[in-house]
């Protein structure tokens, strides 16, 4: 019989790896031996890492991906569930806060975020999946709400993510059957934006990041927050919110940006808004 799993002895700082290059912060779930499942240590480190990156001038886009064969195999059944439960209710609550905390921070991140799903993505992994603004997966990626397979419900937001991203029947089937979806199936059903051959995934994500980097960062932030906010509003409330949000954007350099963009289109005829972004480097 194989040996039963032991807690990961590695220090907290090693559970997440970061590289910053060309304006992109590559953040890796870094527990490949444990299929990058989320332990309390990883959750605490992830919060620290994303907080540090959020206001760095050399970071324009954040990409969340996994080291090795997994994106994230969900919550750590040993360290997040069994050990927290053995320690008692307050430890359970603390572990939940630590996990939910960084997913929330990422849902309302100042900068655009992209999930690059390179492998397994299960259960609790749907929290950070939904938290990222855009998502691209490899053909070999596998997605599943496996909770039902070990007798729990999809908690920690996973049920909400399923109904947000999938149609009702698909969400119900996905949650009740515990079957996994392949990368192409996940893209067809809307869990991710696109599915790419494994060897083209990174290049496509870089291509998307390069487009995002050219946009006005304040307008991008206002846009991504608007898309998240209006999901839960009536049409009239959304319209009103969008007027206020645009007016707030105007006060943070927005007038200068749009005046220059309009000038480049109408007067200079240097770009067409329908076909790409204006040259923001011309705004002093
Ligand atoms: N929690 C704790 N340990 C995990 C988890 C997890 N979610 N996922 C993988 N591991 C550990 C395994 O126990 C094993 O550890 P060990 O070296 O101590 O034995 C190691 O990671 C490697 O895992 P394997 O199962 O050997 O890897 P394999 O590539 O064969 O399978 C797979 C990968 C399919 C992802 C499998 O590990 C698995 O089913 N994991 C659980 C997925 C899951 O249901 N997650 C929970 C979702 S529900 C929620 O998040 C609330």
pLDDT of amino acid 252: 79
pLDDT of amino acid 1: 57
pLDDT of amino acid 33: 96
Output the residue whose Cα is nearest ligand 1's atom 35: 73
pLDDT of amino acid 253: 80
What residues line ligand 1, using a CB cutoff of 6 Å?
A: 5, 33-35, 37, 73-78, 120, 122-124, 146-147, 156
pLDDT of amino acid 2: 72
Distance in angstroms (rounded) separating the CA atoms of residues 282 and 278 = 9
Give how far Cα 271 sits from Cα of 207, 260, 277, 280, Å.
20, 11, 8, 12
Distance in angstroms (rounded) separating the CA atoms of residues 127 and 124 = 6
pLDDT of amino acid 255: 87
pTM of the model: 0.96
Residue 151 falls in which region: left (phi positive, over 0), alpha (psi -120 to 50) or beta: left
Q: What is the pLDDT along the chain (284 residues), one digit of tens a residue?
A: 578 999 999 999 999 999 999 999 999 999 999 999 999 999 999 999 999 999 999 999 999 999 999 999 999 999 999 999 999 999 999 999 999 999 999 999 999 999 999 999 999 999 999 999 999 999 999 999 999 999 999 999 999 999 999 999 999 999 999 999 999 999 999 999 999 999 999 999 999 999 999 999 999 999 999 999 999 999 999 999 999 999 999 987 888 899 999 999 999 999 999 999 999 999 87
Output the residue whose Cα is nearest ligand 1's atom 47: 123
């Amino acid at each position: 019989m194989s040996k039963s799993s032991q807690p990961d002895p590695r220090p907290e700082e090693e559970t997440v790896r970061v590289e910053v290059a060309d304006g992109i912060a590559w953040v890796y779930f870094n527990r490949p031996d444990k299929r990058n499942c989320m332990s309390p240590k990883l959750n605490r480190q992830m919060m620290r890492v994303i907080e540090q990156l959020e206001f760095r001038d050399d970071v324009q886009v954040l990409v969340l991906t996994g080291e090795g064969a997994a994106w994230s195999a969900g919550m750590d059944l040993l360290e997040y569930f069994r050990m927290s439960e053995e320690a008692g209710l307050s430890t359970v609550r603390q572990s939940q806060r630590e996990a939910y905390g960084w997913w929330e921070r990422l849902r309302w991140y100042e900068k655009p975020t992209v999930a690059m799903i390179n492998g397994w993505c299960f259960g609790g992994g749907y929290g950070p999946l939904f938290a990222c603004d855009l998502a691209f997966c490899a053909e070999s990626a596998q997605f599943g709400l496996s909770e039902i397979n070990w007798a729990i419900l999809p908690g920690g937001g996973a049920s909400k993510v399923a109904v947000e991203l999938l149609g009702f029947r698909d969400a119900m089937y996905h949650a009740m059957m515990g079957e996994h979806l392949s990368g192409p199936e996940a893209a067809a059903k809307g869990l991710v934006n696109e599915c790419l051959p494994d060897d083209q995934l990174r290049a496509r994500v870089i291509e998307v990041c390069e487009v995002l980097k050219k946009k006005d960062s304040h307008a991008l932030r206002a846009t991504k927050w608007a898309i998240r906010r209006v999901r839960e509003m009536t049409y009239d409330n959304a319209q009103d919110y969008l007027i206020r949000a645009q007016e707030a954007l105007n006060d943070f350099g927005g007038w200068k940006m749009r005046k220059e963009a309009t000038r480049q289109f109408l007067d200079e005829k240097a770009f067409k808004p329908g076909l790409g972004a204006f040259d923001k480097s011309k705004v002093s």
